[in-house]
Amino acid sequence: PRSGRVFSGIQPTGVPHLGNYLGALENWVSLQDQYPSVLYSIVDLHSITQPQDPTQLKSNILDMAASLLACGINPEKAILFQQSQVSEHAELSWILGCLTSMPRLRHLPQWKMKSKVKNEGSVGLYTYPVLQAADILLYRSTHVPVGEDQVQHLELAQDLARIFNNRYGELFPEPCALLSTRKVKSLRDASAKMSKSDPQTMATISVTDTPDDIALKIRRAVTDFTSEVTFDPETRPGVSNLVNIHAAVAMISVQEAVSQARGLDTGAYKKLVSEAVIQRLTPIREEIERLRSDRAHLERVLAQGTCRARELAAPVLAEVRRRVGF
């Protein structure tokens, strides 16, 4: 076991997709056993930086809770909680926001990507990375599992820890990234990542897709005109994405996946890949269905997580307030 505290968050987008699972959640599960203190937050404050329907948001929060539990997050090993229920996040975010500048935030990826869509964005979307820094620093976290797209946001959290420590005295460790490099690509366009927001439903596999859905989506996955299966993400992105998915769900190496494909054309290989995906996702889908039918249980798990998160957050925020002069 290592020392330190792990923090990570996921937006309540409802049920995760295969990219979320293989790129983030699978690693979250293994970190529970590696670190003595682990916190995972359903970051609903972050989600309202884009318009959300209130009823849908409430149900997405519970769906995400059910999904995290079904994927293997164990509330005995990790504190699983809902961000908005620990008001210290918002308060620390305000204080940290006063320690950085508008230009420092302007070039961060989230703002650049999401504000472009409508050529405008909320103040919340602009200061999103400051809230993210608060999420991390509030627990004096040391390790943050992130995807490559989040590295610049983590750098802001490191800067803010340093700036606060310089001005008010040492309090926050500088959190370091546990970088996840695994990328699942869209099944319709392997130059793009698999994403919840992809309008093409055939491009994304949800962890609750039925075996028939999964088989159909993989059968329709874009490959190329070479029937042999080889691994070369540069020249054969589509088939290489299937090899990566196969290796990840079957927990084998890419070389092993390619050798299992020997003698199969891409059509036959797609069957093999769908079977592997179905085998991996079926227990998760069944567990999500079971958990979804017990809303009270999900609410209880989150409420217990909230209590434990608050116990850690309150003394840190009290110390911050004292240092600031409140």
Q: Which residues are catalytic?
A: 114, 193, 196
Interface stretch with ligand ADP, choices 15-23, 30-38, 50-58, 110-118 (CB under 6 A): 15-23
If the CB atoms of residues 184 and 276 are measured against ligand ADP, the closer one turns out to be 184
* DSSP reduced 3-state for 318: helix
Residues 19/184, Cβ–Cβ less than 8 Å? yes
User: How many Å apart are CA 159 and CA 218, to the nearest integer?
Assistant: 43
Rg for the chain, CA atoms, rounded: 21
Residues 238/221, Cβ–Cβ less than 8 Å? yes
Residues 138/24, Cβ–Cβ less than 8 Å? no
Interface stretch with ligand ADP, choices 58-66, 119-127, 190-198, 307-315 (CB under 6 A): 190-198
Q: Measuring CA to CA, how many Å separate 29 from each of 68, 93, 210, 279?
A: 9, 27, 23, 18
Interface stretch with ligand ADP, choices 187-195, 212-220, 286-294, 303-311 (CB under 6 A): 187-195
Helical packing angle, 151-168 and 123-137, nearest 10°: 70
The alpha carbon of 74 is separated from its chain's Cα centroid by a whole number of angstroms, namely 16
Residues 96/134, Cβ–Cβ less than 8 Å? yes
Interface stretch with ligand ADP, choices 108-116, 171-179, 189-197, 208-216 (CB under 6 A): 189-197
Q: Tell me if 73 contacts ligand ADP by CB under 6 A.
A: no
The one among 7, 15, 20, 133 contacting ligand ADP by CB under 6 A: 20
The alpha carbon of 225 is separated from its chain's Cα centroid by a whole number of angstroms, namely 34
Q: Tell me if 23 contacts ligand ADP by CB under 6 A.
A: yes
Min separation Cβ 190 and ligand ADP, Å? 11
Q: What is the DSSP string of 165-180?
A: HHHH-S-----EEEEE
If the CB atoms of residues 13 and 122 are measured against ligand ADP, the closer one turns out to be 13
Q: Tell me if 193 contacts ligand ADP by CB under 6 A.
A: yes
Q: Tell me if 114 contacts ligand ADP by CB under 6 A.
A: no
The one among 52, 122, 195, 304 contacting ligand ADP by CB under 6 A: 195
Q: Tell me if 95 contacts ligand ADP by CB under 6 A.
A: no
If the CB atoms of residues 147 and 163 are measured against ligand ADP, the closer one turns out to be 147
Residue nearest to ligand ADP (CB): 23
Interface stretch with ligand ADP, choices 20-28, 39-47, 108-116, 213-221 (CB under 6 A): 20-28
User: How many Å apart are CA 313 and CA 311, to the nearest integer?
Assistant: 6
Residues 108/153, Cβ–Cβ less than 8 Å? yes
What secondary structure letter does DSSP report for 68?
A: H
Q: Tell me if 181 contacts ligand ADP by CB under 6 A.
A: no
Burial of 262-289, coded b for 16+ CB within 10 Å and e otherwise, reads eeeebeebbebbbbbbbebbeebbebbe
Min separation Cβ 319 and ligand ADP, Å? 30
Q: H-helix or E-strand containing 299?
A: helix 295-324
Q: Tell me if 241 contacts ligand ADP by CB under 6 A.
A: no
If the CB atoms of residues 276 and 317 are measured against ligand ADP, the closer one turns out to be 276
Min separation Cβ 182 and ligand ADP, Å? 6
The one among 101, 107, 197, 296 contacting ligand ADP by CB under 6 A: 197
Q: Which two tokens stand for residue 31?
A: 């970190």
* DSSP reduced 3-state for 81: strand
Q: 129-148: which residues touch ligand ADP (CB under 6 A)?
A: 147
Residue ranges that bind ligand ADP, judged by CB under 6 A = 10-11, 13, 19-20, 23-24, 147, 182-184, 193-197
